[in-house]
Amino acid sequence: MAPVTSTAQGASTLVNVERPSLLITDLTEPQDRKSMKKNLLILVTVFLFCSCANLLIAQDGLSLMDKLERVTKEREPQWTLDRKLPGGKLVVLRWSSGEARVFMSITVTESPNKAKEIYESSVARLNGEFGAKATRYTIPNLGTENQLWTGYDNAGSAAMQFRDGNVHVLLFAPSEEVAKRFARYVDDLLPSSKTAVPENSSQDWKEYSSVEGRFSILFPGSPTLETQVIEVAPGVQFNLRIHKLKTLAEYSVMYADYPIPVGDPAVARQVLDNGAKGAVESVHSELLELKEITLYGHPGRYLKERMPGGEIMRVNMLLVGQRMYQIAITTPREQGTSAEMVKRYETMADKFLNSFKLIEKKEESAGSQWDHLSWSHLLLKS
């Protein structure tokens, strides 16, 4: 694993990125100078792609369960989350406050239709279990549909369930008010199809420019800037700048500088192609499309892949002298989604990717962070 130091808003953390062992082996075996340069460039490209994909996989370092725990700790200090049973698609949680308990299960299904099936089956089961003595009603603006039961025991307990998108939630609480509050906490963390998102309004798309990055692009909001220091070989590092924003989709522009310009068109093609394919293999995604592109005469690649969780990532790679840009958008999984929504994702991706522009600046021949490094030094450190 290659260490990566990530810095954002004054904070610094250490992240692991998988180092492609095959390319490291290639760098340590005897070969001519041209091959050594080409293999190192491919290695750096793979690292850039892995970093881009890991932005999605990390999900800000917090799962839904982690976020829910944080929210309830802040807003319900009298309740303690003392039982957590995380699973692939089912999470079971319990909060305690003295002798009182809140039980909750969260099921993430493969589609909204499946969540609806679970909801309807569970409603029928609880109706039969509670019988006529229970009072049933719905809560406004909670999920796609919901049901709350009270009066089924003498303790004032409440049961509730709702679905939102492809997620089904079932909970039991000591009172109606507690049930409503905890249900809202979960629903507020879910990406609801009813929620207005910046992508819906053209007024929210604003041009964002980076003088240091020498680019401009449209974002549906204000992105944050993060710097990752990535070590490609022991003692040899480069800086990766990441401008990112998450709304309905995840948007990012990242760039890093290679040790030398890639002047040979044949080498540039191989670096772009092999780097993209190697990164896809590293994150175990499915390559859906890979094609050549050019912008302002600079070579690049368009890459479309399906991530392990089903999300779709679209990336434009652009090689400008010593600098590699990656402009990426990741949209939610399309399985079980309407054709209209899939079309909307495609429109969002086209708008973002096609808005990227270079801010021309005279190339500097000196001052690169790599200028002091010789190829023999890189190989000896690998």
State yes or no: pLDDT of 195 exceeds 90: no
State yes or no: pLDDT of 259 exceeds 80: no
pLDDT value at residue 315 = 92
Name which of 191-200, 283-292, 372-381 the model is least confident about.
372-381
Q: Which amino acid is at 370?
A: W
pLDDT digits (tens, 9 = 90+) for 336-349: 677 888 888 999 99
Name which of 4-13, 80-89, 240-249 the model is least confident about.
4-13
Better-predicted residue by pLDDT, 284 or 193? 284
Q: What value does the mean pLDDT of the chain take? A: 77
One fold for both 2-61+198-381 and 65-189? yes
pLDDT value at residue 255 = 92
pLDDT value at residue 381 = 38
Q: Going by C-beta distance under 8 Å and a sequence separation of 6 or more, which residues neighbour residue 43? A: 20, 23, 24, 27, 232
pLDDT value at residue 12 = 35
Q: pLDDT band at residue 204, thresholds of 50, 70 and 90?
A: confident
**Strongest mean pLDDT among 26-40, 48-62, 105-119, 361-375:** 105-119
Contact status, residue 41 vs residue 22, Cβ threshold 8 Å: no
Q: Per-residue pLDDT averaged across 218-225, rounded? A: 92
Q: How many CA atoms lie within 13 A of 267 on its CB side?
A: 16
Class of domain 2-61+198-381: alpha beta
State yes or no: pLDDT of 199 exceeds 70: no
Q: Spell 173-196 as b/e; 16+ CB within 10 A means b.
A: bbebebbebbbebbbebbebeeee
Pick from 180, 136, 142, 178: nearest CA to 162: 142
pLDDT value at residue 281 = 75
pLDDT digits (tens, 9 = 90+) for 130-170: 988 899 999 998 988 999 999 999 889 999 999 988 889 99
Pick from 246, 236, 290, 358: nearest CA to 49: 290
Q: Does domain 65-189 have CATH number 3.40.50?
A: no
Q: pLDDT band at residue 113, thresholds of 50, 70 and 90?
A: confident
State yes or no: pLDDT of 363 exceeds 90: no
pLDDT digits (tens, 9 = 90+) for 15-72: 344 444 333 334 334 445 555 555 656 666 656 665 555 554 444 334 678 888 889 9
pLDDT value at residue 311 = 84
Q: Which amino acid is at 84?
A: K
Contact status, residue 308 vs residue 284, Cβ threshold 8 Å: yes
pLDDT value at residue 366 = 42
Better-predicted residue by pLDDT, 12 or 183? 183
**In the chain, where the domains are located:** 2-61+198-381, 65-189
Q: Spell 122-143 as b/e; 16+ CB within 10 A means b.
A: bbeebeeebeeebeeeebeebb
pLDDT digits (tens, 9 = 90+) for 69-90: 889 999 999 999 998 887 667 8
pLDDT value at residue 1 = 42
CA 312-283-1 angle, to 5 degrees, is 150
Q: What is the rounded distance in angstroms from the CA atom of residue 143 to the CA atom of residue 284?
A: 33
